[in-house]
Structure 1
Amino acid sequence: MALDVGLAVVSALECGVEGVAFAHRVSLPVPLGVLVGLAVGSVLVVRRRWPITVVLFSVAMAPAEMGFLMGIVGLYTLAAADVPRRFTAALAGMSTLATFVVMVARMREDVAQADLDQQDFDPSGWYVPVVSAFMTLGLNAPPVLFGLYIGARRRLMESLRERADSLEQELSLLADRAEQQAQWARQEERRRIAREMHDVVAHRVSLMVVHAAALQAVAPKDPQKAVRNAALVGDMGRQALTELREMLGVLREESPAAGPAGPAGREAPPLAAVGRAAAAAAEAAVSVGPAGPQVPVGSMGPGGPVGPVTGADAVAEGVDGPRLDALEALVEQSRQAGALVEFVVMGEVRAYGPAVEQTAYRVVQEALTNVHKHAAGAEVVVRLAHRGEEVAMQVENGPSDASVVAADLPSGGNGLVGMRERVTRLGGVFVSGPTDAGGFRVSAVLPVPVGA
């Protein structure tokens, strides 16, 4: 504002001085010519808001030979402003033409006066237009070109500023996304550790409690059997400690960057959506016929087909964990605890990836733990089916035997949830529920990659 007011004052003074000569030429009172000049020159104060008006005033006052500063500053402001280029070109052409006409007329008067004063001065016909053209370009071209340069530079700076703001917003969004992924990774790691702790501790400790109850019952009657039960309790405790040491060793060795952040930062599928997908396949999930359990492929997740886990996922599950070849020993431990367990293997036995084998083992282990907790004395059938691109497991128990005293084991209600999380994480289907005979059935299907 200070610059505009200062320029307007200088322009008004210039036009006021030029108004004196204009008043003499047109036979007007000098004060009136000065007032006209002051009024016209002061229009420059609005050059930023209405640059077209300023240029039009300068063009209109060109015949009166007033407002040269106003014309120069007006052309610069017009070229630098966000005005359509066709308007800028038209007004610059008008100003140039008006200035050229005024220059030609003024030069002709000067040449005529020089011809009267000096009889030997005889300029040819090219002198007046050429000199007038040079003077016109000198007055109009520099402000227009400089204004175009300043306007382009200003628009470039604004574009760079907007781009910087946009990049800052994108970086902020990326930081928020990274924080969300880190939070999800921490939650997934907590769930994984909770599943491992639950599977390792719950099964072993449940069997130890069952054996301890049997030891208490048979100790007065059969000391030899009590000794065998005590040895079994010790073996199970040592196995539980060994598995806990292996799991804690993996946790100590894993780096923070190896957390299960999911492939390409993909978010974990919600359990509700996975539950709906499993419920949709519940009716055809497991059917036991003459040929054994018929379990369909269940590789559909909430977002479509879900493939096998990546190598990072396999590492997250712990490569040194239990495998399928340890299921026979697991079943035998339940038999030694007094449970009636039948183990059926169907299909060609083969090895799978560590994550698949550990998940299958944990599902069977947790299902047998639930039998010890909630169905004491019930008959149990464990089925394992090897097929082309999948492996299926089913643990089904009948109703509990009323004559068998339950071990009164506590339950946190996390066993089925943990099994479902394990299975759906590998792209499989998990189904559980009561049977018509009054028992309970747990079924899971895990996809196996071709060539695994």
Structure 2
Amino acid sequence: MTTTGAHQEAAGTPDRAWLWWGRRRSVALDVGLGALSALECGLEGVGFAEKAALPVPFGVLFGLLVGAVLVVRRRWPIAVVLVSIATTPAEIGFLLGVVGLYTLAASEVPRRIIALLAGTQLAATFIVTFVDVRQGVDTAEFDPGPWYVPLMAVLVSLGLTAPPVLFGLYIGARRRLMESLRERADSLEQELSLLADRAEERAQWARQEERTRIAREMHDVVAHRVSLMVVHAAALQAVALKDPQKAVKNAALVGDMGRQALTELREMLGVLRSGEDVLAARPGGAAASAAVASAAVAAEAPAPLAAVGAAAAAAAAAAAADDGPCLADIEVLVGQSRQTGLVVELSVHGEARGYAPEVEQTAFRVVQEALTNVHKHAAGARVTVRLAHRDAEVAMQVENGAPDVSGGAADAGLPSGGNGLVGMRERVTALGGVFVSGPTDAGGFRVSAVLPAVGVGEGAA
């Protein structure tokens, strides 16, 4: 089937396709043109029958059949033009020839075929017109000159051939341009839809990452302080009647722990409320990954999604600020655990130096959560905290022995949500480090982590 540009018109709403027509309007137009062409050819068939000495009904029937061919111009434009060329010597089918050439030029038929058929139609029309004008001049009483006959033949043949071909070429090119623009618009719409979906996914990811980070920070801050408070409260209950001075000391420690927990919670909530005022975030860690994703969302997403991404980025940036916990605070952390009666040994290897804030904060949180787990699950066990400063990394290890049940240490009954080890692993792997945890052969538990030693300047770059 030859595909023509005529049945790719964009105006109107397409109806149910019938045969090769895409719309009812196209059917009505072609049937109307076919009927008009058949009527014209039928009338011209009378003169053809008289010239050819044929019966008039035969000429009329022949003209009707020839004119009706115009109905199939969209499906077979080449056939319509060939019929027009074949009937040119009979001087039948003026409308057939003009509309057929227009349809052929506007179709997707190769240009060389259009040029060949249009040239043939031009030559046939020129010959027929030349003969008719020559016969008219021969019977006239005046001589118009030798130039009159060829000039009239050229003008008539060009007038019947050139305008429909040129107009058809213009309409075909315009239709193809409109189709190309429509396809491009559809493609752009699909791309925008994909970008919007991707931005929504990134915004959702950033929100989820931020919720995870907040939950991890809340767990680290609250779990350790509250664990120490519960241990001190248990000790206070045990010695309240036997040793009032020690009870007073434990009560003061509980108060200090509670105030520290409230202070850290206020600081965290303040960071979340004022996070939008933070201008830049350091890369690294879960907070930095959320900041990167949020920045991408803010760059690509619409305004509502960009606001969400910007808020997440600000909160992530504030979480990695320089005033967070650092490696220097580990000694204080160990001292707080010692105050509960836990035997903790701290050993530091290598020369301490400045690291990026996210590295120091992650190292502190790993040690903090490991000590919290000891308070929860290994009351009375001996604990060893090792910290090693190496050339390209900083390593930490918290190892406890088996719980000393015989020593009178009682389980404080602290609940466990099972998120401590998961949070530590997420923090360490987010910085490109290595995290290992598991029981020891002696019945204790060991937590080890190695973090890349990113300097302060590198971390801020």
TM-score between the two structures when normalised by the length of structure 2: 0.84
What is the CA distance between 1:215 and its match in structure 2?
Answer: 1.1
Q: What residue is the counterpart of 1:93 in the other structure? A: 119
Q: CA-to-partner distance for each residue in 1:372-407, whole Å, 9 max, x for gaps?
A: 111111111111111222211111111110122121
Alignment deviations for residues 26-79 of structure 1 (CA, whole Å, 9 cap, x no partner): 101112111111111111111111111110100000010111110000000011
Q: Deviations over 1:293-323 (max 9, x none)?
A: xxxxxxxxxxxxxxxxx99855344543211
Q: State the alpha-carbon separation in 1 of the partners of residues 453 and 176 from structure 2.
A: 59
For 1:333, which of 325, 333, 336 is the aligned residue? 336
Equivalent in the alignment of 1:427: 432
SS, match of residue 323 in structure 2? coil
Please report how far the alpha carbon of residue 175 of structure 1 lies from its aligned counterpart in structure 2 after TM superposition. Answer: 1.3
The residue that corresponds to 1:354 in the other structure is 357
Within the alignment, does 1:438 sit opposite 2:447 as a pair? no
2:234 & 2:197 partners in 1: Cα distance? 54
CA distance in 2, matches of 1:390, 1:128: 101
* 1:54 and 1:70 in contact (8 A); partners too: yes
Match of 2:381 among 360, 378, 395: 378
After the TM superposition, which of the residue ranges 84-93 and 311-320 deviates more from structure 2?
A: 311-320
Q: Is the 8 A contact 1:314 1:355 kept in 2?
A: no
Kindly indicate whether the alpha-carbon contact (under 8 Å) linking 2:366 and 2:424 is maintained by their aligned counterparts in 1: yes
> After superposition, what is the alpha-carbon deviation per residue over 1:130-189, rounded to whole angstroms, capped at 9, x for unaligned?
321122111101100100110111111111111111111111111111111111111111
Q: 2:88 aligns with which of 62, 68, 73?
A: 62
Rounded to whole Å, the distance in 2 between the matches of 1:182 and 1:325 is 36
Matches within 5 A, 1:5-154: 5-114=31-140, 117-118=141-142, 121=143, 123-124=145-146, 126-154=147-175
CA contact (8 A) 2:276 2:314 kept: no
Q: Name stretches of at least 5 consecutive residues in structure 2 with no aligned partner.
A: 1-26, 282-286, 297-312
Which segments of structure 1 move beyond 4 Å, counting only runs of 4 or more?
256-260, 264-267, 310-314
Over the aligned positions, Cα root-mean-square deviation in angstroms equals 2.1
Aligned residue type for 1:64: A
> Which runs of structure 2 are paired with 1:392-403 in the superposition (5 Å)?
392-403=395-406
Tell whether the 8 Å contact from 1:185 to 1:261 is kept in structure 2 after alignment: yes
* Percent of aligned pairs sharing the same letter: 72
Report whether the alignment pairs 1:410 with 2:415.
Answer: yes
- Residue in 2 that maps onto 1:294: none
| Alignment partner, residue 301 of structure 1 | none
How many residue pairs end up in the alignment? 405
Residue ranges of structure 1 left out of the alignment (5+ in a row)? 268-309
Q: Is the counterpart of residue 342 in structure 1 residue 345 in structure 2?
A: yes
Given the two structures, how large is their TM-score scaled by the length of structure 1? 0.86
The CA distance in 1 between the partners of 2:316 and 2:427, in whole Å, is 11
Check the 8 A contact 2:356/2:454 in 1, yes or no: no
Q: CA deviation at 1:255?
A: 3.3
What is aligned with 2:292?
Answer: 263
Higher mean C-alpha deviation, range 330-339 or range 169-178? 169-178
Distance 2:318 2:433 in 1: 19
| Alpha-carbon distance in 1 for matches of 2:392, 2:317 | 18
Q: Measured at CA, do residues 199 and 265 of structure 1 come closer, stay the same or move farther in structure 2, by a change above 3 Å?
A: closer
Match of 1:291 in 2: none
Amino acid at match of 2:40: E
Displacement of 1:448 in angstroms is: 2.8
Matched position secondary structure for 1:255: helix
